[in-house]
Structure 1
Amino acid sequence: MTGEDAVRLRPPDRALNERAVGWWRTRLLLLTGVPVLVPAVLGALLEPARPWLWGPAAALAVTGLGCAAFLPRWWFRVHRWEVTDEAVYVRTGAFWQEWRIAPMSRIQTVDTVRGPLEQAFRLATVTVTTASSKGAVRIEGLDHELAADLAERLTRITRDTPGDAT
């Protein structure tokens, strides 16, 4: 590639939808709930009662609540994405940042996914699959209507972009 054709690594400029914070927070609380409930219920229901199980349950609950209160807002600040006519850019991660670029000529498929929890928050995930061994590029936490429009736009751009996507 010449200097003009090179895809330049740069910070993507679009933030996720603000509702992603609530979605991440809910996911963390649900993931914390089972490990908290199991020892708490066992400690209460077993004969004789085993209150020593309540300590680990409380520690897990405090950790889970702390993570749910702090991490989603932080993730929202660092996760960025952008789509240009040349490439899809995604930056994720707080401590270990990962920057991914998928050139339009390498894109093979574009999918949108809306799990039950995402549907409740009116969000969707756009997955851009390339021939990369690193795997697909995912943009999570998008408004579901924006995700549908983005998938349509990416499909149109990749159709009109020369290349073999391999």
Structure 2
Amino acid sequence: MNDSESAGARGEAGTLRLRPPTHRVHRTALAWWRTQFLVAGVVAVVPLVVLALLLPAPVFWWLVGPAAVLAAVSVVGAVAMPLWWYRVHRWEVTGDAVYTRTGALWQEWRVAPMSRIQTVDSERGPLEQLFGLATVTVTTASAKGAVKIPGLDHRLAADLVRDLTATTQATPGDAT
């Protein structure tokens, strides 16, 4: 980021200018979120189906019915929810702050000034590794907790962790 971009992020009298973040998560996050949704659905449906097959006939429909509903909800959710999340999730890092916007129904917009950042971490679970993604976690002194940026390309996430670490080390403040 150059000095003019950094200056553009600041309002009058050097205060942080609050605005929504601009970057979307990586497009592959759609497949990652869909897979998470479907895995959760399978974990819920398979035991019901197995029990239905093992238990006496009168219990069969009491288990297969809910399993069918859960399967349908999982498939519809796996199609619809990731599209919504992709539309809503945003992130941006400037020389002054880390901005995030997340959520489906209840949207959350977070701003973490560089002077408040304590640690920067990158995490890659098994599914994230499969899809080449990572989650960057920016821990601050906020009671609200860490700021997370999920669904980033793993190379971009590594660069972001490196750049944020360098920027926060060079930013005056006590991060409390």
TM-score range, shorter chain: over 0.9
User: Does structure 1 residue 155 correspond to structure 2 residue 165?
Assistant: yes
Checking the alignment, whether the CA contact within 8 Å between 1:43 and 1:49 is kept in structure 2 is: no
User: Does structure 1 residue 138 correspond to structure 2 residue 160?
Assistant: no
Q: What SS does the corresponding residue of 2:14 show, helix, strand or coil?
A: coil
Checking the alignment, whether the CA contact within 8 Å between 1:44 and 1:50 is kept in structure 2 is: no
Q: Could you tell me how far 1:44 is from its partner in structure 2? A: 0.8
Aligned residue identity for 2:25: L
Q: What SS does the corresponding residue of 1:50 show, helix, strand or coil?
A: helix
Q: What SS does the corresponding residue of 2:13 show, helix, strand or coil?
A: coil
Aligned residue identity for 1:34: V
Q: Which residue of 1 aligns with 2:31?
A: 22
Aligned counterparts of 1:104 and 1:45: Cα–Cα separation in 2: 58
Q: Which residue of 2 aligns with 1:103?
A: 113
Aligned counterparts of 2:161 and 2:16: Cα–Cα separation in 1: 21
Q: Could you tell me how far 1:50 is from its partner in structure 2? A: 2.8
Aligned residue identity for 1:71: M
Aligned counterparts of 1:82 and 1:65: Cα–Cα separation in 2: 31
Match of 2:59 among 50, 54, 64: 50
Aligned residue identity for 1:148: A
Q: Could you tell me how far 1:49 is from its partner in structure 2? A: 6.3
Identity rate, percent = 60
User: Aligned Cα RMSD in Å?
Assistant: 1.2
Q: What SS does the corresponding residue of 2:135 show, helix, strand or coil?
A: strand
Question: Normalising to structure 1: TM-score of the pair?
Answer: 0.96
Aligned residue identity for 1:81: W
Aligned counterparts of 1:14 and 1:95: Cα–Cα separation in 2: 20
List runs of 5+ in structure 2 lacking aligned partners.
Answer: 1-10
User: Does structure 1 residue 13 correspond to structure 2 residue 58?
Assistant: no
Question: Normalising to structure 2: TM-score of the pair?
Answer: 0.90
List runs of 5+ in structure 1 lacking aligned partners.
Answer: none
